[in-house]
Amino acid sequence: MKIDHTWYCKPCGIRERLTAGGVVVRRAPEGLLVALAREVNIDGWVLPKGGVEPGEAIDAAARREIEEEVGLSMLTKHGDLAVLERLESERRFWSIIHYALYETDQVQGEIKDLEHHPGMDWFPLDALPDMFWPDERALIEQHRAAIFAMLETKSE
Q: For 3-39, what is each residue's pLDDT tens digit?
A: 999 999 999 999 999 999 999 999 999 889 999 999 9
Considering the domain boundaries, does residue 68 fall inside one?
yes
State pTM to two decimals: 0.93
Phi-psi region of 142 (alpha: psi -120 to 50; beta: other; left: phi over 0): alpha
C-alpha separations of 105 from 24, 42, 74, 121 in Å: 10, 28, 7, 14
CATH of the domain at 140: 3.90.79.10
Question: Band of the pLDDT at 74, cuts 50, 70, 90?
Answer: very high
Q: Which domain holds residue 70?
A: 11-155
104-132 average pLDDT score: 94
Considering the domain boundaries, does residue 6 fall inside one?
no
Mind listing the pLDDT tens digit for each residue in 91-111?
Answer: 999 999 999 999 999 999 999
Number of structural domains (the chain) is 1
